């Protein structure tokens, strides 16, 4: 026994050391901050500098229509953005994976990637330059005589949607392309040989094969849009109203960290719930989708 | 061998750290507004005292948020508006009382110094001294919106989608005055104050169609006015005067219900690491000539006694064109905000933002 124990020790130590970075990262940067936030969110202000434990911050979210309306709006718009991204990204990925060969394939993937070499802020300002009333598109339309006065494209929900879809496109294209590449062409040919038409081949062969990639792409895009801050604020203007903005406002302009933390915890738990529902509905398991 | 190598490396590392720190020891970490610490002044201060000034640009809410996150650390000197010092101190305990013996009082306009010392009292101690003052009112493009004379005129149907203002507490206060209410009188009566704010809320919601965008940074507002995307704005006087230089039609006007007067102060954060440098900076920038340089950069006047005569003539002329004696008397100076009122305002602002 003693000998066995001895020989085990270096192995365990080695394992522990190897695990160290991962554990440190998980505990210090993921779990601990979340727990701190949970703790702050459970405190309510009774008087200056005096706080007590209580649920009032959470009750506030459910009793004030303003807050859950904002959340609902954010969630619905994120779901729409996810679906739109999927619809646009699928043909692109299919084209890259199946129609192209060699250099053109690499080139197209790089073209998808290029916008991400600059930060999100710069990309969003790029859109603002294009879309604002005194911007490029409005001036061009006036120049060709399409319209008399300037047109404002910014500050609508459609603009927010445009920005969201644009900024999350890559996260759908990449998993889809790599999964579609792994689909053997002979399956598709066999489908046609057996009398299938384009639609049935698409529905019974391509989609089932790509399903894990579709779901994982959707999860990533949904979480990114839901947690996006810059795009809705800058492109949405006066009525943007995004839940992350509510959290920011609570922390920074209202100094109400307790309320902000409660919103943060709620955002995390409700969005996890939505993802879980999505997995159940598409009958996928999380481990399969993420592998 | 290896171990001693390691040790010497660590030793070298430590000495490097220490020397680096001693070089950096004389820095003043200043949390302030854009334009309040122009580079020329920072360089002059360095030449005179050998102290480096690290400037972080910020605004009222951001300053309080930054300092409350660190419980008063990270900066040696900050510049919130005087009306928001006592409430922030009451709520978060982030400042240190001002040591008046370290300040050269003769440099200040006496009445302003007294007023700031009075309004920044918490628990019997004063926390702030005045630095720069100015007003917020209306910036109007007189060619396109000549009849905008008061805040509520921004809601005229003629200016659908053509005006901009901030969605912050000054806007609430301004609209209240413009609607004939007196929010300052209700400062100590939260129930009454909430009633006033709810009326303002309705007004701002019905006015929302007129708003192009709620601006948040001065540059965004100036951009909107320069490109004619908006024709009238509620904003600071200095911004209006800067726009006037580019386009003569645009200027700052004092609204008929009165411009709102603010004073930005100096406060020492509770965990300031270099208090002596902070006091040196205060005494340095309050010298008339230096204060005039800051006025030129920021566009606003200071509480420094005798600085006005060093300020360049065009700025003085612009100031006089916006304010006659009557409108100076009509300026509504912000009294200190009692703790708790900002909660009411926050809700109102959220509802206005959420309204369609």
Q: Do A132 and B342 touch (CB under 8 A)?
A: no
Q: Do A251 and B351 touch (CB under 8 A)?
A: no
Is B350 within 8 Å of A66 when comparing Cβ atoms?
yes
Please calculate the CA angle A91-A97-A99 and round it to the nearest 5 degrees.
Answer: 80
What are the structure tokens assigned to B151, written together? 């805040």
3-state secondary structure of B323: coil
User: How many beta-carbon contacts under 8 Å exist across A and B?
Assistant: 63
DSSP state at residue B231 = S
Q: How many CB atoms lie within 10 A of CB B1?
A: 5
C-beta of residue B264 within 8 angstroms of C-beta of residue B81: yes
CA distances from A34 to A214, A245, A261 (A): 29, 19, 9
CB atoms within 10 A of CB B325: 8
d(CA B50, CA A265) in angstroms, rounded, equals 48
Most confident of A1-15, A148-162, B173-187: B173-187
Instruction: Tell me the average pLDDT across B274-301.
Output: 93
Query: What is the pLDDT, as a whole number, of residue B243?
Result: 94
Burial class (CB in 10 A: 0-12, 13-18, 19+), A146: exposed
Q: Which residues of B touch A (CB under 8 A)?
A: 61-62, 64-65, 68, 88, 90-93, 161, 168, 208, 211-214, 227-229, 339, 342-343, 346-347, 350-351, 353-354, 356
pLDDT at A14: 85
- Of the candidate ranges A116-120, A159-163, B46-50, B262-266, the one whose mean pLDDT is the lowest: A116-120
Which of A194-203, B1-10, B252-261 bottoms out in mean pLDDT, i.e. has the lowest? Answer: B1-10
Residue given tokens 């009454």 in the structure block: B192
SS (HEC) of A130-182 = HHCCCCHHHHHHHHCCCCCCCCCCCCCHHHHHHHHHHHHHHHHHHHHHHHHHC
pLDDT of residue A267: 94
Specify the range with the lowest mean pLDDT, choosing from A9-18, A106-115, B14-23, B207-216.
B14-23
With 70 as the cut, is the pLDDT of residue B13 above it? no
Confidence of residue B8 (pLDDT cuts 50, 70, 90): low
Judged against a pLDDT cut of 50, whether residue B1 lies above it is answered with no
Mean pLDDT of A98-114: 89
What is the per-residue pLDDT across B127-136, written as a single tens digit (0 to 9) for each?
Answer: 999 999 999 9
Query: In the CATH hierarchy, which fold is given to the domain comprising A53-116+161-290?
Result: MetI-like fold (1.10.3720)
CA–CA separation, A42 vs A53, rounded Å? 6
Query: Which residue of A48, A134, A253 is in closest CB contact with B227?
Result: A134
Across B304-332, average pLDDT: 87
pLDDT at A112: 87
Mutate to test the interface with B, among A253, A256, A258, A260 (most CBs of B within 10 A): A253
Average pLDDT score, chain B: 89
Which of A66, A133, A239 minimises the CB distance to B356?
A239
Q: How much is the pLDDT for B6?
A: 47
Those residues whose C-beta lies under 8 Å from the C-beta of residue A198, and which sit 6 or more positions away, are none
Cα dist from B295 to A184, B110, B268, B343, whole Å? 72, 19, 22, 34
**CATH architecture for segment(s) B134-261+332-354:** 3-Layer(aba) Sandwich (3.40)
Measured distance CA(B175)–CA(B84) in Å, rounded? 20
Inter-chain residue contact A66 with B161, CB threshold 8 Å: no
What superfamily in CATH does domain B2-133+262-325 come from? Answer: Periplasmic binding protein-like II (3.40.190.10)
Per-residue pLDDT at B16 exceeds 50:
no
Per-residue pLDDT at A88 exceeds 90: yes
Considering only alpha carbons, which residue of chain B is nearest residue A49?
A: B91
pLDDT tens-digit map of A190-201: 999 999 898 999
Stretch B56-78: mean pLDDT, rounded?
A: 93
Average pLDDT of chain A to the nearest whole number: 89
pLDDT of residue B339: 78
How close does chain A come to B356, measured CA to CA in Å?
7
Min Cα separation B61/chain A (Å): 5
A132 in Cβ contact with A235 (< 8 Å): no
Measure in Å the smallest separation between the Cα of A139 and chain B Cα atoms: 12
Nearest by CB: B93 against A49, A152, A257: A49
A152: nearest CA partner in chain B: B229
Q: What average pLDDT score do residues B289-304 get?
A: 92
Could you count the other beta carbons within 10 Å of the beta carbon of residue B105?
Answer: 14
Q: Cβ(B71)–Cβ(B93) under 8 Å?
A: yes
Give CA–CA dist B200/B171, Å, rounded.
Answer: 9
In this model, does residue B22 exceed pLDDT 70? no
Q: Read off the pLDDT of each residue in B274-289 and give the average, rounded to a whole number.
A: 95
Residue among B260, B89, B243, B303 at smallest CA distance from B168: B260
Q: What is the pLDDT of residues B166-218, one digit of tens each?
A: 999 999 999 999 999 999 999 999 999 999 999 999 999 999 999 999 998 88
A238 and B214 in contact by Cβ < 8 A? yes
Confidence of residue A151 (pLDDT cuts 50, 70, 90): confident
Distance CA B240, CA A134 (A): 21
Angle at A268 between CA B66 and CA A75, to 5 degrees: 105
CA distance to partner chain B, nearest, from residue A190 (Å): 55
Judge whether residue A4 has pLDDT over 80.
no
Percentage with pLDDT > 70 across chain A:
96
Residue A236, pLDDT score: 87
Contact with chain B for residue A248, Cβ under 8 A: no
Q: Report residue B160's pLDDT band, with 50, 70 and 90 as the boundaries.
A: very high
Q: Can you give the pLDDT at residue B2?
A: 47
Chain B residues with beta carbon closer than 8 angstroms to that of A252: 61-62, 65
pTM of the model: 0.82
Respond yes or no on whether ipTM tops 0.85: no
B321/chain A closest Cα distance in angstroms: 30
Residue B12 pLDDT exceeds 80: no
Q: What is the mean pLDDT of residues A216-242?
A: 90
- Residue of chain B minimizing CA distance to A133: B229
The shortest C-alpha distance from B129 to chain A (Å) reads: 24
Strand partners, B264: B81, B132
pLDDT value for B3: 47
> What pLDDT does B19 receive?
45
**For residue B75, pLDDT beyond 60:** yes
User: What's residue A2's pLDDT?
Assistant: 45
The residue ranges of every structural domain in chain B are: 2-133+262-325, 134-261+332-354
């Amino acid at each position: 026994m003693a000998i066995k124990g001895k020989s085990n020790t270096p192995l365990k130590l080695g394992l522990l050391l190897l695990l160290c970075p991962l554990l440190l990262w998980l505990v210090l940067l993921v779990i601990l901050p979340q727990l701190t936030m949970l703790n702050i969110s459970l405190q309510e202000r009774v008087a200056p500098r005096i706080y007590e434990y209580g649920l009032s911050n959470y009750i506030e979210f459910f009793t004030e229509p303003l807050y859950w309306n904002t959340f609902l709006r954010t969630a619905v718009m994120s779901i729409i953005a996810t679906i739109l991204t999927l619809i646009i990204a699928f043909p692109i990925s299919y084209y890259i994976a199946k129609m192209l060969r060699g250099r053109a394939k690499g080139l197209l993937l790089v073209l998808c990637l290029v916008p991400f070499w600059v930060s999100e802020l710069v990309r969003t300002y790029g859109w603002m330059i294009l879309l604002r009333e005194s911007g490029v598109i409005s001036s061009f339309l006036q120049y060709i005589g399409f319209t008399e006065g300037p047109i404002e494209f910014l500050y609508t929900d459609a603009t927010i949607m445009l920005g969201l879809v644009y900024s999350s496109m890559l996260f759908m294209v990449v998993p889809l392309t790599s999964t579609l590449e792994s689909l053997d062409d002979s399956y598709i040919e066999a489908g046609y040989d057996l009398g299938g038409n384009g639609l049935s081949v698409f529905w019974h062969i391509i989609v089932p094969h790509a399903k894990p990639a579709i779901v994982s792409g959707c999860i990533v895009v949904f979480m990114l849009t839901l947690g996006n801050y810059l795009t809705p604020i800058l492109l949405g203007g006066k009525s943007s109203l995004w839940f992350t903005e509510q959290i920011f406002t609570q922390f920074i302009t209202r100094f109400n960290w307790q309320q902000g933390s409660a919103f943060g915890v709620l955002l995390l738990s409700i969005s996890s719930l939505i993802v879980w529902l999505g997995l159940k509905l598409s009958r996928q398991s999380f481990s399969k989708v993420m592998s | 061998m290896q171990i001693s190598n390691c040790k010497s490396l660590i030793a070298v590392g430590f000495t490097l750290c220490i020397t680096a720190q001693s070089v950096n020891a004389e820095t003043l970490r200043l949390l302030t507004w854009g334009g309040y610490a122009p580079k020329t002044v920072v360089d002059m201060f360095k030449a005179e005292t050998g102290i480096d000034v690290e400037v972080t640009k910020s605004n009222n809410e951001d300053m309080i948020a930054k300092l409350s996150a660190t419980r008063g650390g990270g900066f040696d000197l900050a510049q919130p508006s005087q009306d928001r010092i006592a409430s922030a101190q009451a709520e978060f305990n982030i400042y240190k009382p001002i040591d008046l013996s370290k300040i050269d009082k003769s440099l200040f306009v006496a009445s302003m110094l007294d007023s700031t010392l009075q309004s920044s009292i918490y628990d019997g101690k004063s926390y702030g001294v005045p630095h720069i003052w100015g007003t917020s009112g209306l910036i109007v493009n007189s060619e396109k919106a000549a009849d905008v004379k008061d805040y509520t005129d921004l809601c005229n149907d003629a200016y659908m989608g053509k005006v901009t203002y901030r969605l912050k507490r000054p806007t609430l206060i301004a609209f209240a005055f413009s609607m004939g209410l007196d929010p300052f009188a209700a400062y100590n009566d939260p129930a009454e104050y909430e009633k006033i704010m709810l009326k303002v809320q309705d007004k701002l919601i019905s006015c929302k169609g007129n708003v192009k965008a709620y601006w948040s940074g001065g540059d965004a507002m100036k951009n909107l006015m320069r490109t004619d995307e908006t024709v009238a704005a509620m904003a600071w006087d200095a911004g209006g005067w800067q726009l006037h230089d580019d386009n003569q039609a645009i200027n700052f006007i004092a609204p008929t219900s009165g411009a709102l007067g603010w004073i930005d102060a100096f406060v020492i954060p509770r965990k300031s690491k270099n208090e002596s440098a902070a006091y040196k900076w205060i005494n340095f920038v309050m010298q008339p000539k230096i204060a005039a340089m800051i006025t030129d950069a920021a566009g606003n006047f200071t509480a420094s006694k005798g600085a006005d005569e060093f300020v360049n003539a065009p700025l003085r002329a612009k100031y006089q064109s916006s304010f006659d004696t009557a409108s100076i008397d009509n300026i509504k100076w912000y009294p200190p905000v009692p703790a708790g009122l900002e909660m009411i305002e926050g809700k109102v602002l959220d509802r206005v933002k959420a309204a369609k």
